[in-house]
Amino acid sequence: MRFRWLPWAAALLGLLSFLLVRGSLTDDGYITLAYAKNLALHGEWALVPGTTANSATSPLDVLLLGLLTLITRISGAAHPVLALGALTVLSSAAIGWAWQRLARSFGLATWVGLLGVVIVVVNPFLLSATGLEVLLVPAILLWLTVFAVEGRPVLFGVFAALTVLTRLDLVVFVLIITFSTRAIRQHFWRAFGTAVLVAAPWFLFGWFALGSFIPDTLVIKQDQEGLFGAWGYFSGPVMYFLYQPVTVIFTFAAAVAGTAVLLAWTGLRFARRWDDFPALAPVVGLGLGGVVYYIVYSTLGVGPYHWYYVTPTATIASFAVLMTGIWLAESGRRPGLRKAAPLTALGLAWVTALGMVSIDLAQGVPWPSPVIFGNWASSTDYARVGRELGQRLNGASVAGPGEIGTLAYYCDCQILDVFSDRSQVASIVRKRIAEDGAVSRLGLRINYHWFDRNQPPRQVDYRLLYGKGPASGPDSWTVYSAAKGIGHFTLVPAR
């Protein structure tokens, strides 16, 4: 009874967070919304109408948003942003429900489950990337952990499939939790077979119909080496700390503490101090997965995009809260364990969560721009430019300026860059196959076996260029960004 309100409280928190950020969605969030819009309206897997693409990193996120957008058409028009709000509420409720199940399994105090919800949903890095799959990821991973804890291999297999459909790189968590949990290992083939049955249809469709079962974003992001100067994924938190130290401290504090908890548990485990504690392997797998995920991303050569840090910070923070809550629950049943340490740790976690709430509210209500932000224009200015650009082009094609999501969503035109035009992806793949090592070349050849790597570049009629300062002259729009200041976009003939 005492936990039944937790999913509802989480849903309410998700709704409030969405209302806070809905007018300031990041440009990459609009890439996902554009995919969902085209899927709901035209049945196309495309960023721009009529042009098949494969740059949606999270197929499950697009499919869910597309379905919810299709439902909104009952009003006569599609409303992808409304669908995003619904998915935000549902994902938050799913996190609350997962914590309800975990709290019951381990006998946790109610407020521990609430803390687990809050410390994820109010994360400023997460809220700054609303529109992407950042909230769906912790929801799916928590449920994966739930079914591992409960020893339910078939449902674990279903959520293992949903995990890799959310992001293929989350296979790190699937593998670690699978092989660290005895109940899943003992029924490995049931879990594995279920996962294959659920996930295979999409990956086969992607390989044959889209020409790649791994989304193009992997090679696209790896090709952007140098975009952040000397900063990479590993050093990215330092880069963000230099201009937003308070935000970084509160966002990463729980993850750093969780890493310390993981190391402490490892020491206790080897000292055989926790042998008779509850089965903690799935919980430890969740935290260890976050650490390994960070290490893997640090070696892949991708840039320090702020949404890439949501997965490790959210999962390791959840692990820290869960482990400390278990410690507190066990201390109430074991005379040799004292409550002071876990109570202090959980109190500090609440301070961290409330600190993140303060950062979120200090940005303004509602947000004029995300806390972590680097786009050339606000979402409202991009929307204005996109609508007017679509009318101006009248069916002609335009090369994008480098940021495409919001423009593509509102323009409904042939705006082309590497995320929407696969002839540009073909050029990157050819280059990688020519220059990479033998293992990488083999992987690329297999992944892009059914993809036309020799397709010629598409014809471009115009180019949209970005510059600093206010606009001057025809076909030019002044925009403002909290990160870049006043700038402008100018439409010029391609030749």
Amino acid of residue 368: P
pLDDT of res. 110: 86
Report residue 85 as tokens. Answer: 């709000």
Whole-number average pLDDT of the chain:
92
Between CA 147 and CA 378 the distance in angstroms is 41
Q: Burial letters for 37-56: b for 16+ Cβ neighbours within 10 Å, e otherwise?
A: bbbbbeebbbbbbebebbbb
Q: What is the pLDDT of residues 232-285, one digit of tens each?
A: 999 999 999 999 999 999 999 999 999 988 887 776 665 555 444 457 889 999
Range in 177-181, 200-204, 300-304 the model is least confident about: 300-304
27 pLDDT band, cuts 50/70/90, is very high
Between CA 445 and CA 430 the distance in angstroms is 10
Give yes or no for residue 323 having a pLDDT over 70. Answer: yes
Q: In what order do the strands lie in the sheet with 476-481?
A: 414-416, 397-399, 462-468, 485-493, 476-481
Give yes or no for residue 366 having a pLDDT over 80. Answer: yes
Tell me, rounded to whole angstroms, the distance of Cα 61 from its chain centroid: 9
Give yes or no for residue 226 having a pLDDT over 90. Answer: no
pLDDT of res. 373: 95
* H or E element, residue 66: helix 59-72
Between CA 233 and CA 342 the distance in angstroms is 32
Percentage of the chain beyond pLDDT 70 is: 96
pLDDT of res. 335: 62
pLDDT of res. 276: 47
Cβ-based burial of 360 (10 A; exposed 0-12, middle 13-18, buried ≥19): buried
Domains of the chain: which residue ranges? Answer: 6-362, 379-493
pLDDT of res. 277: 47
Q: 383 near 375, Cβ under 8 Å?
A: no
Short-list 204, 178, 202, CA closest to 189: 178
pTM value is: 0.95
Q: 227: how many CB neighbours lie within 10 A of its CB?
A: 13
φ and ψ at 181, to 5 degrees? -110, 115
Q: What is the pLDDT of residues 445-465, one digit of tens each?
A: 999 999 999 999 999 999 999
pLDDT, mean of residues 56-71: 97
Give yes or no for residue 372 having a pLDDT over 70. Answer: yes
CA dihedral defined by 156, 157, 159, 162, rounded to 10 degrees?
170
Report residue 141 as tokens. Answer: 């991973």
Give yes or no for residue 417 having a pLDDT over 80. Answer: yes
336 pLDDT band, cuts 50/70/90, is low
DSSP letters for 408-459: HHHH-SEEESTTT-HHHHHHHHHHHHHHS-HHHHHHHHHHTTTS-TTPPPPP
Alpha helical stretches, state H, 310-372:
310-331, 340-362
% helix, strand, coil for the chain, step of 5: 65, 5, 30
